[in-house]
Structure 1
Amino acid sequence: MTADAAAGPAPLPKRERTGFLKRFLPRTLFGRSLVIIVTPVILAQAVATWIFYDRHWDTMTNRLAFAVAGDIAMVISVLEHDPTPEGRNWMLANTARSTDLIVTLEPGNTLPEQRPQLRGLLERTLGKALDERVHRPFAINTRVAHEWYEIRVQMPDGVLSVMSPERRLFSPTSYIFILWMVGSALVLFTVAIIFMRNQIRPIKRLAAAADALGKGRDVANFKPEGATEVRQAAAAFLKMRERIHRQITQRTEMLAGVSHDLRTPLTRMKLALDMLGDGPEVEELMTDVAEMETMIEGYLAFARGEGTEAVAPTDLTRILNETVAGARREGAEVLLETEADMTLPLRPNAMRRCLANLLSNARRHGARIWVQAERRGASIEILVDDDGPGIPKGSREDVFKPFFRLDSSRNQATGGAGLGLTIARDVVRSHGGDVTLSDSPHGGLRVLIRLPV
């Protein structure tokens, strides 16, 4: 045997042990908090129950059983000492009056040779006491009457029947203890559930507000509440929301201002070029000016995409129909498949601009366009396919970068100024969704838009 084998199996890595434990833990904070509260209570009650049954129950049951067995042994001893009818009648009457035991003698009867099996803790304890105190054959019947036990003892001239009330053999503290344990546990669980729900509710509201902010929705009615730590997190969230809104507003105003200011010198340049007349150099300058105008329009479109348009319940089917109709008027061949009613919170103009950019991009590089929209679980998916040259797999993330252009047959994949797909993804992500690219079954590019409902 090698040293490694003798050492036994290696212990599980810490990460594996942690993962094993996590499989049995609740996944929610509410469930884990209840486990933290309930587990010590269950352990404490288990210990208390063990102590009760090991000490109180055993001790009390033994004492009660031996007391009854002692009374029966005393009756047998007196009957054997004075077997006359007068002495027997006096003993039976005195026993019934002073011990609560109803004793009768059945002359000539005998017990079965085989003793019935004793069942239950009480019968076994009483049987043990009778063996030690009476030293005679006996039988115990627990079904003779409600709340009564019959103990039959074999005598030389018959059978001694002793009827003992249940209270002589059983202490009601057991029921009281069980009711107390169950009742206190139910009260504790109820209080814990109510308390934990109240503590977790502000956390759920904070999570819902963060999710709404990520989807571009308004969270104006949100306010900090709950425990101090939750209030601190909520206050940090509100400050973050204000910073995000301020940064978006500043960037929007800056882009709009720069783009607007650049139009004036471009207009003067165009007028100057018109006055120069015709010529190859003038045509090249005119091309450069036209390209600069296109870039400025892209700046303005990008700025509008980051604007402060309000989110409102919007019928996406209507926006798709309008956008597709506009693409068809520009000469595109578009096939549209969509469900009848797909209403969700959107910024209508921004979403219309996003879809128009994608259709314009597909129209420039393909002969036909296929648009499909449907609900899938908790989201809506929009597919835009074309039969153009597509985009290489390694460049599908690069085309979302502002002003990026491909050096291929699809070198205008991002639009005239390189902002088409950038604006589209920016709009979709501001709604909490995303845009991904893949190969189209029609041979070109597939654009997948996924929007949360």
Structure 2
Amino acid sequence: MRGRPQDQPSRAGGVARTELAHELRTPLTVVQGEAQLGASLHEGADRARFERIAAASQEMSAAMTLLLDVARGRVGTDARADVVAAVGSVLDRQRRADLDVQVRSVPSSVAVPQELVERILTPILDNAFRYASARVEVAVESDASEVRVSIANDGPPVGVPVDDLFDPRVRGADSPGAGLGLALARRLARTAGGDIALTSTEHPVFVVTMPSTAPSTKPPG
């Protein structure tokens, strides 16, 4: 049976994203290989720079594999993740030692694969560490239906309208990225049956929700 006409643009977009991801994986592999070679041929600060490039390209390749799995609907609903461990893993990759980081948590697990939880949390925590003046607060709470991760920082107010915050075409003037991080994080959270919301704009507070029980998921359109 042929799909409905209104379904076709969404499906075409999914195919295009999958093909683009495949195209990106080859140059990423080249970058990773060249960086590893450079690290083996240099010492000191130069070697450290090559090692950072290799690590970043490896992380991006892993993210690409995850996104392909999500696009193809291969994210299993029987997987479970330790949210507190996922928060700790993302925090370990942050590099601002000058910040006071406070974490309040209760043992919490969600019906979402661990790597997907980390991919959802990473852009939110990256933003918190980037814009915080002195403090970042993370709180993990749960009930019978969902787990909530609140991420707050004492930095400046959000610089774009809330309606634009998760739009991949819009980014703040001082943002170093391409504006995709928050949009992608929310897309992945919704694919997993959760969501991301901004609950305070003065001192930004993001709340990530994820289901405690397996949702009925579908690939993003």
Does TM-score exceed 0.5, indicating one fold?
yes
Residue correspondence of structure 1 range 113-152 to structure 2 within 5 A: none
The corresponding residue for 1:432 is 193
Task: Identify if the C-alpha distance between structure 1 residues 298 and 423 changes in structure 2 by more than 3 Å, giving closer, same or farther.
Answer: farther
In the alignment, the residues of structure 1 paired with residue 105 and residue 185 of structure 2 have an alpha-carbon distance, to the nearest angstrom, of: 20
The corresponding residue for 1:211 is none
Task: Identify if the C-alpha distance between structure 1 residues 247 and 318 changes in structure 2 by more than 3 Å, giving closer, same or farther.
Answer: farther
CA contact (8 A) 1:305 1:426 kept: no
* Structure 1 residue 429, shift from structure 2 partner: 0.6
The corresponding residue for 2:121 is 355
1:374 counterpart letter in structure 2: E
In the alignment, the residues of structure 1 paired with residue 138 and residue 185 of structure 2 have an alpha-carbon distance, to the nearest angstrom, of: 15
The corresponding residue for 2:146 is 379
Q: Does 1:398 align with 2:164?
A: yes
1:384 counterpart letter in structure 2: I
* Structure 1 residue 253, shift from structure 2 partner: 2.7
Identity %: 23
Q: Does 1:417 align with 2:184?
A: no
1:402 counterpart letter in structure 2: P
Task: Identify if the C-alpha distance between structure 1 residues 397 and 304 changes in structure 2 by more than 3 Å, giving closer, same or farther.
Answer: farther
TM-score norm. by structure 2 comes to 0.64
CA contact (8 A) 2:63 2:119 kept: no
Task: Identify if the C-alpha distance between structure 1 residues 251 and 306 changes in structure 2 by more than 3 Å, giving closer, same or farther.
Answer: farther
Q: Does 1:444 align with 2:209?
A: no
CA contact (8 A) 1:354 1:424 kept: yes
Q: Does 1:254 align with 2:44?
A: no
In the alignment, the residues of structure 1 paired with residue 130 and residue 118 of structure 2 have an alpha-carbon distance, to the nearest angstrom, of: 18
In the alignment, the residues of structure 2 paired with residue 348 and residue 317 of structure 1 have an alpha-carbon distance, to the nearest angstrom, of: 11
Count how many residue pairs are aligned between Structure 1 and Structure 2.
173
* Structure 1 residue 324, shift from structure 2 partner: 2.0
Describe the superposition over 1:308-355 as per-residue Cα deviations: whole angstroms up to 9, x where unpaired. 15330221121112222322x553542111102x12211211211221
* Structure 1 residue 428, shift from structure 2 partner: 0.7
Describe the superposition over 1:205-264 as per-residue Cα deviations: whole angstroms up to 9, x where unpaired. xxxxxxxxxxxxxxxxxxxxxxxxxxxxxx99xx9xxx9x97686344322234346679
Residue correspondence of structure 1 range 15-26 to structure 2 within 5 A: none
Task: Identify if the C-alpha distance between structure 1 residues 344 and 404 changes in structure 2 by more than 3 Å, giving closer, same or farther.
Answer: same
In the alignment, the residues of structure 2 paired with residue 248 and residue 313 of structure 1 have an alpha-carbon distance, to the nearest angstrom, of: 29
* Structure 1 residue 401, shift from structure 2 partner: 1.6
Residue correspondence of structure 1 range 217-236 to structure 2 within 5 A: none
Describe the superposition over 1:82-124 as per-residue Cα deviations: whole angstroms up to 9, x where unpaired. xxxxxxxxxxxxxxxxxxxxxxxxxxxxxxxxxxxxxxxxxxx
* Structure 1 residue 383, shift from structure 2 partner: 0.5
Describe the superposition over 1:65-94 as per-residue Cα deviations: whole angstroms up to 9, x where unpaired. xxxxxxxxxxxxxxxxxxxxxxxxxxxxxx
Task: Identify if the C-alpha distance between structure 1 residues 314 and 397 changes in structure 2 by more than 3 Å, giving closer, same or farther.
Answer: same
Task: Identify if the C-alpha distance between structure 1 residues 305 and 422 changes in structure 2 by more than 3 Å, giving closer, same or farther.
Answer: farther
Residue correspondence of structure 1 range 245-284 to structure 2 within 5 A: 250-260=15-25
SS at match of 2:80: strand
In the alignment, the residues of structure 2 paired with residue 346 and residue 318 of structure 1 have an alpha-carbon distance, to the nearest angstrom, of: 13
2:110 counterpart letter in structure 1: L
Q: Does 1:310 align with 2:75?
A: yes
Superposition RMSD in Å: 3.6
In the alignment, the residues of structure 1 paired with residue 115 and residue 96 of structure 2 have an alpha-carbon distance, to the nearest angstrom, of: 19
In the alignment, the residues of structure 2 paired with residue 336 and residue 248 of structure 1 have an alpha-carbon distance, to the nearest angstrom, of: 39
* Structure 1 residue 366, shift from structure 2 partner: 0.8
Deviating beyond 4 angstroms after TM superposition, the runs of 4 or more aligned structure 1 residues are 245-249, 260-264, 296-305
SS at match of 2:155: coil
The corresponding residue for 1:225 is none
Task: Identify if the C-alpha distance between structure 1 residues 298 and 339 changes in structure 2 by more than 3 Å, giving closer, same or farther.
Answer: closer
* Structure 1 residue 422, shift from structure 2 partner: 1.3
Greater CA deviation, 423-432 or 255-264? 255-264
CA contact (8 A) 1:252 1:304 kept: no
Q: 1:337 aligns with which of 100, 104, 128?
A: 104
The corresponding residue for 1:288 is none
In the alignment, the residues of structure 2 paired with residue 432 and residue 326 of structure 1 have an alpha-carbon distance, to the nearest angstrom, of: 26
2:149 counterpart letter in structure 1: I
CA contact (8 A) 1:380 1:452 kept: yes
